[in-house]
Amino acid sequence: MDCLFCKIINKEIPAEIIYEDDQVIAFNDINPQAPMHALVIPRKHIPTTNEIPDEDTALVGHMVQVAAKIAKQNGYDESGYRTVFNCNTHGGQTVYHIHLHVLAGKPLGWPPYFDESLKQPVA
């Protein structure tokens, strides 16, 4: 399967891995949007959050707990952090293997801005 994140899991392409266990791995984002920007991904290939099967509810909960652990290890549990799953085009998803962004280290804006480049033609 031609999936960038499966290749990172299989160590076919390098990444700065900061956490791994039998269910998930986490690594630094190659294009960080904050002083800390990590991605937590399941070892299992799931394309988007639309395809999370009932059997993987605990897996996704584990991803959130790992994100919190990483934030705490880096000293950002009290100042705060942002966890995000982007889904499909309007969500800004570019890699189709689910990943939980973990961003911290500066005050993060909310709500997300409207991105003209992601606008889809209306059928």
Annotated active-site residue in 45, 90, 97, 99: 99
Helix (H) or strand (E) holding 72: helix 57-73
Shorter beta-carbon distance to ligand AMP: residue 27 or 81: 27
CA distance 27 to 49: 19
In angstroms, give the least distance from the CB of 45 to Zn ion.
Answer: 4
Give how far Cα 49 sits from Cα of 8, 25, 46, 88, 98, Å. Answer: 20, 17, 8, 9, 7
> What x/- string results for residues 43 through 62 when contact with ligand AMP is judged by CB under 6 A?
--------------------
Residues with a catalytic annotation lie at 99
Question: In the complex, which residues of this chain contact ligand AMP (CB under 6 A)?
Answer: 4, 15, 27, 29-31, 39, 86, 92-95
